Amino acid sequence: MPPHKLLLRPKLLFTTLAALALGACSPPQAKDPQADTSAAIANQVILPTYSRWVEADRQLAISALAFCAGTADLTTARADFLHAQKAWAALQPLLIGPLAEGNRAWSVQFWPDKKNLVGRQVEALISAGQPIDAQSLTTASVVVQGLSAYEYILFDSKPELADATRKASYCPLLVAIGERQKHLAEAILAGWTGTDGVLAQMSKFPNQRYADSHEAIAEVLRVQVTALDTLKKKLGTPMGRQSKGVPQPYQAEAWRSQSSLKSLQASLLAAQSVWLGVDGKGLRGLLPADQKALAEKIDSAYAAALHALDANSRSLTALLEDPAGKPVLDDIYARLDGVHRLHQNELAKALNIQLGFNANDGD
């Protein structure tokens, strides 16, 4: 072997051993708890909730066809609506991505309806006598595209008292809304789970949506704070907190079906699921050990608010009409306010998140 090659072999061996030694001494790559939590919330909390929403809307589309064909009664049709309403309510604290953009949420449910636009526009559309289907509905007003219009037909137009001709006049719109909601939900879910969709963006960083995992966690908390503030408005507005104490029962979400408080409860449970996560992979798990007292305060606040809602068996309308209902509603509102303020103030500070303005500011 040439002498110069004999000289190179010890040098190569030394270089290799040195590289191995340096690798052994290098610290392992640090774990990113916020990235783990973001991915867990996306996969284990948000995605299943979106999937349940899609399934509920698929059933709603089937239900509309069955009711209009006379193979399902009004009671069944109303139950399917309430299931879809609950699925939508659960989704509201999780509006990250396409559904939170471009006022798409109004296509699902139009609220607040301060001037009875739902009733007026549904009746105007029916009276116009124009063909109605899911495709034509996409270019119609958002007021008649979603659950609020569907609810009006089943609960306020009194189809159980109407003759067959009147029921038939509503059915094309009912069927169209069912199809519209199913297609919308499926499209949103597909966009959420597709390549470079929000599911992927919340799971691996950086990406075109988030520079790092902290940005993703910050958006999760901002959405939570906005949703909790919205829950207060959904209760406070019909209570009269924005109208000098004069109750406004028709300003409640889903007042026609008397499901306003059940919707609040579903939304609050969904918000709690983001806080707790699955197997501890929620916002709570990001708090350091020295924030144990705050974690327990938020636990207690959720438990108290949910207990206040669960302990009441009366509808919002019934409580508003009864003077004895005022302290019940005041207590529920105070509990919701407590959860909201803990998130907005103490939790945001503990997680080093600047909230800025939310979607309700200025309302």
Q: What is the CA radius of gyration of the chain?
A: 26
pLDDT-wise least confident of 34-43, 58-67, 135-144, 218-227: 135-144
DSSP secondary structure string, 122-138? HHHHHHHT----HHHHT
Buried b (16+ CB within 10 A) or exposed e, 125-140: bbeeeeebebeebeeb
How do the domains of the chain map onto residue ranges?
Answer: 33-350
Q: Which pLDDT score is estimated for 194?
A: 94
How confident is the model over 229-236, as a mean pLDDT?
A: 97
Would the pLDDT of 22 be above 80? no
Would the pLDDT of 8 be above 50? no
Contacts of 279 (CB under 8 A, 6+ apart): 40, 44
How confident is the model over 49-54, as a mean pLDDT?
A: 98
Angle at which helix 164-193 crosses helix 117-128, to 10 degrees, equals 110
Segment 194-230, tens digit of pLDDT = 999 999 999 999 999 999 999 999 999 999 999 999 9
Q: Quick check: 257 and 85 in contact, CB under 8 A?
A: yes
pTM, to two decimals: 0.89
Q: Which pLDDT score is estimated for 136?
A: 92
Would the pLDDT of 297 be above 90? yes
How confident is the model over 278-296, as a mean pLDDT?
A: 97
Distance CA 135, CA 15 (A): 69
How confident is the model over 176-200, as a mean pLDDT?
A: 96
> Which one is the CATH code of 33-350: 3.20.20.140, 1.10.8.60, 2.30.30.830, 1.20.1420.20?
1.20.1420.20
Q: Which pLDDT score is estimated for 361?
A: 52
Would the pLDDT of 296 be above 90? yes
pLDDT-wise least confident of 157-161, 193-197, 256-260: 157-161
Q: Which pLDDT score is estimated for 360?
A: 56
Q: Which pLDDT score is estimated for 159?
A: 73
What is residue 97's three-state secondary structure? coil
Q: Which of the four pLDDT bands, split at 50, 70 and 90, describes residue 165?
A: confident
Which tokens in the block code for residue 363? 């309302």
Mean pLDDT over all residues of the chain? Answer: 91
Segment 90-108, tens digit of pLDDT = 999 999 999 998 888 999 9
